């Protein structure tokens, strides 16, 4: 795990978390007779539910059982806008292509704080941002791509999933995007260092921390992020490495939209009156990292078929550092969240209200913040998030901006959010 980063050095670093802490099922195709990891584990693939069996002293997948797909029924109503307690539903119930093969019965009423459905909330949120992006005029996206000598032999395009969609989503707040994307491998450490020196200029003020050759030694090809002045970069894993972890491909797909969200927040002249690199642009850690993670899921991770198990597994693995730093059993925070305790949730978010310079639980910010953003987008739509960004960009006052955007204070929001977090933690894989 990477050491904590100072805000004066790196903004919005994303570790792509192909974790090796526990064995994970490969994201490759599942077939009868192929090896699996644990007796009794299940996996949904190609419309079937497969179960891992012990046969002749070997763990293998069974033939699978076809899952009957439930098609949701549209519920026409108006798209919600920022308001204290919206009473309108999302523009429509998500289409079958946006759901998994295990969808429950369709929503019968709009998403609201008293109706944070464990399954539909994230799907409605994804649809809200997708519809908003599609409604925006096409952006004049000026991106300069830099490819290392060995990266073209790998599936580097996975790391650029959602390029156009995320740019259109943030178009009202980032009207003239102009930036660099660097894609490299662990074989090209000298090349990436030289490229960083060339593009970062005076922003490269601490080579020991910032240069990728040093980060590769610490974490291998599990690195990427946003760097000043306007650079997004990723180490691209080999196809073999992407298949070693069930979360690796999901992580790769979500990377670009995650980092572009940081880029928008830190360099766009349209979102904030404060200068680039100013700490006054940084919102609380849970929103800064959590919202970026949410948008990565919405425009990247959701491209995977039956993405929901990957989303939950990815979030679960991100909880491990919280437990490990406290010398408590891995999975403890999952059990804590399942208790549905508003006081506990409030205390967890309180730890994440500092900016990236003081936040010591960044991975927890990914987990809790992404689910909090799901709820905000499902209820208030992207218009509510944009209002929050613009309000904060004028005042740098988090509590004031949050109340103006959503009509409730952050502490009240944490309490209302608690049941949803409990429902999601209950779904984390064991």
**Tens of pLDDT along 316-353?**
999 999 999 999 999 999 999 999 999 999 999 999 99
Instruction: Report pLDDT for 96.
Output: 34
Structural element, H or E, at residue 58: strand 58-61
Beta bridge partners of 233: 182, 225
* pLDDT for 171 beyond 60: yes
Q: Is residue 282 part of a domain?
A: yes
Report residue 73's pLDDT band, with 50, 70 and 90 as the boundaries: very low
**Residue 70 reports pLDDT greater than 60:** no
- Tell me the pLDDT band of 299, cut-offs 50, 70 and 90: very high
pLDDT band at residue 203 using 50, 70 and 90 as cut-offs: very high
CA–CA dist 10, 23 (Å, integer) = 31
Distance, CA of 27 to CA of 79 (rounded, Å): 35
Give residue 192's Cα distance to chain centre. 25
Q: Residue 128 falls within a domain, yes or no?
A: no
- Helix H or strand E segment including 235: strand 231-235
**Could you tell me if 62 and 166 lie in one domain?**
no
Q: Which 8-state DSSP code applies to residue 87? A: -
**Same domain, yes or no: 272 and 404:** yes
- Alpha-helical regions (H) of 50-162: 120-135
Q: What is the CATH number of the domain that holds 397?
A: 1.10.390
> Are 51 and 159 found together in one domain?
no
Q: Where is pLDDT greater, at 245 or 422?
A: 422
CB count within 10 Å of CB 79 equals: 17
End-to-end CA distance of the chain: 22
Co-location of 304 and 201 in the same domain: yes
Q: Residue 65 belongs to what H/E stretch?
A: strand 65-66
Q: Are strands 178-184 and 142-147 parallel, antiparallel or unpaired?
A: parallel
The DSSP string of 155-200 is: -GGGGGTTHHHHHHHTTTT-SS-EEEEEEE-TT-HHHHHHHHHHHH
Q: Is the pLDDT of residue 210 over 50?
A: yes
Tens of pLDDT along 250-277?
Answer: 999 999 999 999 999 999 999 999 999 8
Domain boundary among 41, 67, 93: 67
Q: Do 171 and 306 share a domain, yes or no?
A: yes
Residues 203 and 302 in one domain: yes
Say if residue 52 is in the same domain as residue 146: no
Residues 62 and 168 in one domain: no
Tokens in use for 261?
Answer: 């969200």
Spatial CA neighbour of 359 closest among 351, 347, 370: 351
287 within some domain:
yes
Query: Looking at 63-67, 252-256, 269-273, 397-401, which range is the least confident one?
Result: 63-67
Q: Which pTM value belongs to this model?
A: 0.78
- The number of angstroms, rounded, from the C-alpha of 147 to the middle of its chain's C-alpha atoms is 24
- Residue pLDDT, tens place only, 34-58: 776 666 666 666 667 778 788 876 7
Provide the strand spans (E) within 148-199. Answer: 178-184
Dihedral, CA of residue 15, residue 16, residue 21 and residue 25, to nearest 10: 170
What is the rounded average pLDDT of the residues 173-186? 96
Domain coverage including residue 38: 31-67
Rounded-to-10 torsion of CA 45, 46, 52, 53:
180
**Pair (58, 153) in one structural domain:** no
Q: Which of 40, 1, 49 is nearest to 317 (CA)?
A: 1
Task: Please state, in angstroms and rounded to a whole number, the distance separating the CA atoms of residues 405 and 30.
Answer: 45
In a domain, 124, yes or no: no
Q: Is residue 199 part of a domain?
A: yes
Q: Give me the pLDDT at residue 87, please.
A: 32
- Statement to judge: residues 292 and 386 lie in one domain: yes
Residue 108: per-residue pLDDT:
62
Residue among 136, 126, 124, 133 at smallest CA distance from 77: 124
Q: Is residue 127 assigned to a domain?
A: no
List CB contacts of 152: < 8 A, sequence separation 6 or more. Answer: none
Q: What is the pLDDT of residue 39?
A: 67
Does residue 146 belong to any structural domain of this protein?
A: yes
Give residue-wise pLDDT tens across range 96-152: 334 444 455 556 678 999 989 999 999 999 999 999 999 998 899 999 999 999 999
Same domain, 215 and 334: yes
C-beta atoms surrounding 146 within 10 Å: 17
Mark whether 61 and 176 lie in a shared domain. Answer: no
Domain count, the chain: 2
Does residue 71 have a pLDDT over 60? no
């Amino acid at each position: 795990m990477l050491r904590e980063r100072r805000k004066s050095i790196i903004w919005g670093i994303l570790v792509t978390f192909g974790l090796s802490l526990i064995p994970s099922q490969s994201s490759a195709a599942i077939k009868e007779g192929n090896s699996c990891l644990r007796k009794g584990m299940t996996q949904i693939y190609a419309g079937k539910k497969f179960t891992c069996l012990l046969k002749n002293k070997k763990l293998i997948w069974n033939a699978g059982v076809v899952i009957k797909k439930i098609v949701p029924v549209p519920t026409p109503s108006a798209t919600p806008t920022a308001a204290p307690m919206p009473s309108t539903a999302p523009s429509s119930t998500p289409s079958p292509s946006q759901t998994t093969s295990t969808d429950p019965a369709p929503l019968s009423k709009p998403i609201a704080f008293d109706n944070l459905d464990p399954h539909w909330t994230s799907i409605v949120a994804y649809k809200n941002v997708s519809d908003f992006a599609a409604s925006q005029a096409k952006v004049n996206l000026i991106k300069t791509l830099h490819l290392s000598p060995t990266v073209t032999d790998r599936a580097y395009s996975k790391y650029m999933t959602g390029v156009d969609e995320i740019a259109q989503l943030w178009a009202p707040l980032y009207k003239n995007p102009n930036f660099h994307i660097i894609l490299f491998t662990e074989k090209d450490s000298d090349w990436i260092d030289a490229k960083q020196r060339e593009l970062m200029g005076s922003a490269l003020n601490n080579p020991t921390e910032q240069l990728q050759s040093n980060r590769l030694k610490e974490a291998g090809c599990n690195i990427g992020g946003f760097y000043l002045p306007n650079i997004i970069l990723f180490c691209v894993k080999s196809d073999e490495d992407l298949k070693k972890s069930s979360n690796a491909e999901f992580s790769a797909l979500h990377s670009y939209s995650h980092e572009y969200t940081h880029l928008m927040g830190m360099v766009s002249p349209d979102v904030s009156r404060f200068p680039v690199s100013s700490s006054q642009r940084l919102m609380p850690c849970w929103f800064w990292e959590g919202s970026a993670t949410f948008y990565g899921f919405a425009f990247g991770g959701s491209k995977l078929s039956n993405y929901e198990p990957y989303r939950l597994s990815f979030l679960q693995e991100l909880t491990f550092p919280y437990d490990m730093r406290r010398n408590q059993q891995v999975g403890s925070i999952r059990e804590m969240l399942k208790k549905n305790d508003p006081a506990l949730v409030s205390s967890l978010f309180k730890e994440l209200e500092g900016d990236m310079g003081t936040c010591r639980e960044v991975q927890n910010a990914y987990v809790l913040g992404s689910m909090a953003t799901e709820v905000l987008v499902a209820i208030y739509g992207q218009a509510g998030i944009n209002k929050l960004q613009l309000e904060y960009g004028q005042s740098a006052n988090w509590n004031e901006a949050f109340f103006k955007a959503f009509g409730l204070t952050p502490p009240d929001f944490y309490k209302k959010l608690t049941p949803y977090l409990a429902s999601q933690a209950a779904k984390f894989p064991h």
